[in-house]
Structure 1
Amino acid sequence: MDKFFANLHLVLAVGLAAAIALIAYVHPDPSLLANYVLRWLHVFFGILWIGLLYYFNFVQIPTMPSVPAELKPGVSKYIAPKALFFFRYGALLTVVTGLSVAHVTGYLVAALTFAPDYRLIGIGMWLALIMAFNVWFLIWPAQKKALGIVEADADTKAAAAKTAMIFSRTNTLLSIPMLYAMTNANFG
């Protein structure tokens, strides 16, 4: 049992298989299976993405100034890069699965164009798209410099850390109305 739980990928694979089996059991209509699986994956990846966003903003950013200098490389060299990997791909997969759900259920264009019955979900989708853009094109490039993943002088690293923090906080701000829009949209 220790070997099983020590292998994160195996635990995730078994969890995925168990969730899909549960979905298929509860919703045996094969024509709806893709919709239910995509919705579940969307929520799973959304929890991963927003959970890490909140970890960075509620824990790591405020705590780093009090971490002794000799311990900071433990975070910047090991924890942050791994967390940022899951953060980036959580964002990407949340958006891909969310757009897929909207496409499969037929409201993608209506939501993205703010059709009256889809305005709230559309707002949530656009906020998520802006947030994902921030992750991939503003936060991640800045973090690569700030963490020393790419070469940068001390001034560039400091400026990059500030940029990453500002856009991470921007995403925290946007996540609050985005979560409201996503959980309270009433469409169809």
Structure 2
Amino acid sequence: MEQESFISHLVELRNRLIYSLLAVLAVFLCLVWWAKDLYSLLAAPLLAVLPQGGQMIATDVVGVFLVPMKVTAWVSLLIAMPFVLYQAWAFVAPGLYAHERRLALPLLVSSCVLFVLGMCFAYFVFFPGMFKVMTSFTPEGVAWMTDIDKYLGFVMGMFLAFGAAFEVPVVVVLLVLLGVVDTRKLAAARRYVIVGAFVVAAVVTPPDVASQFMLAVPMCLLFEVGLLVGRLIERRQSSD
């Protein structure tokens, strides 16, 4: 019986994965006609600050085709993410207790929303500011032209970094809910959190101070948001 149950779980997991991949593929096929436009939209923050005559280049023979396809694939995954998360939730939820489901679902939804907000912050705030700083430091007579594949790698890395950084409130709330630490100890460790945020920003972002501040400051503010929510949870738990 245990073996049959294990096999049935594997079959269900396979089916959930297939449904998720089909959803991403369906969105990809709908968007592939606009692949060049999607890359242009991604490159807009850099193209907006390039000096007159500046442009991006492709050093790989197939780069002009593969890079827009990669962008389209990532956008497809992002659009299909609600369905993918639903499949993951449908697979995991039956094995959870009622109180665990009440805890897991809000955390899952909030973590996804915060990750997308982090990506939006990177695109609308970080990239324009950082590229302007880079432009101001470009020596005269130097043509600043970046390869489209390297640009995609840099942008995706920053999206992941800012998306992960915006998960700080979820981490704080989860620590409080699990009883690992209370908000008083977290508040007492605030100075270490601030130092850690700037260390992470110094490692992840380009070496200019403005870029580091644009990552470290939101992390510190989001830590305070997590503390506020954690205090509300502690009050609710004590009243119950």
**TM superposition score normalised by structure 1:** 0.36
Tell me which structure has the larger Cα radius of gyration. Answer: 2
